Amino acid sequence: MLSRRVIPCLDVDRGRVVKGVRFVEIRDAGDPVELAAFYDAEGADELVFLDITASHEERGVMLEVARHTAEEVFIPYTVGGGMRSAEDIREMLAAGSDKISLNSAAVRDPELVRRTSAIYGSQCIVVAVDAKKVAGRDRWEVFINGGRINTETDAIEWIREVERLGAGEILLTSMDRDGTNIGFDLPLTAAGTSAANIPVIASGGAGELEHFAEVVVEADADAVLAASTLHYGKLTVRDIKEHMASHGIPVRL
């Protein structure tokens, strides 16, 4: 088994890290570059920055955040939000980002995944899938624009499609669990990892140490993502890794 990654996620709104519950009830959590440097020193494997309002408000991507992070941080990081073209992606990679994340733009133009993975390599292209369960059904649907628009697209079929188009990784977020601290959505994550032959990052709902080991053991997540539990000091990256290691999960300590 390959080492499983622990990835802090920094949702950014107007240059500040924020966190909400189920994509609403947003509150401030700090400066993105300072937090990135802190998690680097703590032993995080990677970082994810998501500009959570870029697609909705049609603002530019976080080039300045990426540039300053490159000066302070020495682990890989992904940036997502507002990128709609190969040129947008080129600028972000040139600013220092190791990967970029596509969500709304990929849904609106799936060929963007094919075009950009062919130019920059699949390893650079992460597709973020924000999924919400359909009540009473064994189905999750894809939402875009920061969870504001339901595309009615089957999330698991969409994962298969973007892998076929050239995505190198999936960031799979449960909108039902986001910010709740009650645990990852195991059925959603398991369905996603079963459908994909590329790495799947589990996102949404982590709040206790056991949640991180659980989603790897029971749903085969390749990486675990955390936000509020780390930003507000409930857990540390070291806590999570030591707990995972105690359950026989290989991690980089």
Q: Exactly one of 51, 130, 185, 222 is catalytic; name it.
A: 130
For the CA atoms of 110, 114, 117, 123, the dihedral, rounded to the nearest 10 degrees, stands at: 70
Told to judge if 130 belongs to the known catalytic residues of this protein, a careful annotator would answer: yes
Q: Is 154 a catalytic residue?
A: no
Give the number of other CB atoms < 10 A from CB of residue 51. 27
How many other C-beta atoms lie within 10 A of the C-beta of residue 162?
26
Are the C-beta atoms of residues 145 and 118 closer than 8 Å to each other?
A: no
**DSSP assignments along the chain, one per residue:** -PPPEEEEEEEEETTEEEEEETTEEEEEEE-HHHHHHHHHHHT-S-EEEEETTHHHHTPPP-HHHHHHHHHH--S-EEEESS--SHHHHHHHHHTT-SEEEESHHHHH-THHHHHHHHHH-GGGEEEEEEEEEPTTSS-EEEEETTTTEEEEEEHHHHHHHHHHHT--EEEEEETTTTTT-S---HHHHHHHHHH-SS-EEEES---SHHHHHHHHHHH--SEEEESHHHHTTSS-HHHHHHHHHHTT-----
Return d(Cα 42, Cα 39) in angstroms, integer.
5
Residues in the chain: 253
Give me the active site residues, please: 11, 130
